[in-house]
Chain A
Amino acid sequence: MSGKDEAELSRLMRAAIAGDERAYADFLHRIAAVVRGFVRRKIVQGGVDPEDVVQETLLAIHVKRHTWRQDAPVLPWIYAIARFKLIDAFRRRGRRIEIEIDDIAETFAEPETETVSERDINRALDGLPPTQRSVVSSISVDGRSIGETAARLGVSETAVRVSLHRGLAAIAKRFGRQ
């Protein structure tokens, strides 16, 4: 990681915290690539899906972005979170091994299951209250805007924002608790 990347990422993050959505999208895309590279290097044997860890890390970065000090470099902060989430994923994996037999049986029964539906985040999403779930999936999976989601669900934009925020926080918390 060069100093230029660091400076650029810090600038984007500061802009994002100030409310610049485009800077934040740019920041998140770059961070996803950085974290993906890091996680793939660290996971040498199977068991943990790197993309699950990438998603968990992005969520944690999002809900904990107030812990970044704007005068500190952003990459050490990102790597520390990614590392924590990676260790957490391994820990959880270790714990889950005893109940693995059922999972294997299911995998044999349905060999064609799409990897997308097996994502940890989908399980967390399914556990949300109905309103939060429909708001989060409308904006993420269906790619609708806040306004479109509000119109479709017949609620105010503020209500959509609140549900989205609470839904994301709940998903992040669910990961932490597993």
Chain B
Amino acid sequence: MRTEDLIKALDADTSSKAMPLRSAWWMAAAAAVVIAAVVFFLAIGPRPDIMIAMHTVRFLLKFVFTIVLAVTAFGLIRALSTPGASIARAVAWMAAAPLLVAIAVALELFMVPEPMWGTRMVGSNMMICMGFIPLIGIGPLAVFIWMLRYGAPTRPVLAGAVAGLLAGGLAATFYAAHCFDDSPLFVATWYTLAIAVLAVLGALGGRLFVRW
């Protein structure tokens, strides 16, 4: 088939329509939030003393970390799924969540006496954290990988990893409402590990499923 002939076929298909990628990403985000919420409320739900916990800074800080991660990852993944889009700015913003966590960890180390550091870090339910963040995040991750297939990422593995970070940020935001361990030392260790699991799964998903 000559290129000229191919152009005839493409031209005849002008009328076929697809939703603009940008709108599709917002719909995917909404769908992912609903999926995460359903899994969260069915599987664990918020902790019983959440009304009291909401008055403590450490509890609220967890949401700051996770929401900042989700929002910045959302910005980056949209850029990554658009060919030729500049990603430098979105990449720089990805430093925000780790930076906030690092500051909170430093303050925590300053405020909490040294003998208690270990207890704060190990917490009371790290295995639940390690299990439920990936469990809540796996549905959203599938949605985001599907979206990467709809888009056109020129770096599928990186885009997949960012999809994992986005799913992780979202899942951790819900999980934080259940989790009794509010110390930044706990969050910096176990939340990070759980989110990293999703990032690795996402990179793998990008490698295997995002071909175009």
Output the least CB separation between A111 and chain B (Å): 22
B47 within 8 A of A: no
**Cross-chain contact A83 with B151 (CB below 8 angstroms):** no
Q: How large is the interface on A (under 10, 10 to 19, 20 to 34, 35 or more residues)?
A: 35 or more
A136 within 8 A of B: yes
**Cross-chain contact A28 with B11 (CB below 8 angstroms):** yes
Q: Which residue of chain A is the closest to B10 with respect to CB atoms?
A: A62
- For A121, the chain B residues whose CB sits under 8 A away are 1, 6
Output the least CB separation between B48 and chain A (Å): 46
- For A25, the chain B residues whose CB sits under 8 A away are 7, 11
- For A28, the chain B residues whose CB sits under 8 A away are 7, 10-11
Q: How large is the interface on B (under 10, 10 to 19, 20 to 34, 35 or more residues)?
A: 20 to 34
Q: Which of B5, B8, B84 contacts A80 (CB 8 A)?
A: B84
Q: Which residue of chain B is the closest to A20 with respect to CB atoms?
A: B14
Output the least CB separation between A13 and chain B (Å): 11
Contact with A along B107-130 (1 / 0, CB 8 A): 000000000000000000000000
The main secondary structure of chain A at its interface with chain B is helix
Q: Which of B1, B2, B15 has the most CB of A within 10 A?
A: B1
A4 within 8 A of B: no
Distance between Cα atoms of A29 and B211 in the complex (Å): 26
B192 within 8 A of A: no
Listed A/B pairs (25) with beta-carbon separation below 8 Å: A28-B7, A32-B3, A54-B3, A55-B1, A55-B3, A64-B212, A65-B18, A66-B24, A67-B21, A67-B81, A68-B82, A72-B85, A81-B83, A81-B152, A121-B6, A137-B1, A139-B8, A140-B9, A141-B5, A161-B12, A161-B15, A164-B13, A172-B212, A176-B212, A177-B211
Known interface pairs A54-B3, A67-B151, A161-B12; 9 further A-B residue pairs with C-beta atoms within 8 A, sorted by A's residue number: A25-B11, A63-B212, A64-B152, A67-B21, A69-B20, A77-B83, A140-B9, A164-B9, A168-B10
B-to-A contact residues, CB < 8 Å: 1-3, 5-16, 18-22, 24, 81-85, 151-152, 154, 211-212
A-to-B contact residues, CB < 8 Å: 16, 19-21, 24-25, 28-29, 32, 51, 54-55, 58-60, 62-69, 72, 76-81, 83-84, 116, 119, 121-122, 125, 136-137, 139-141, 143, 145-146, 161, 164-165, 168, 172-173, 176-177
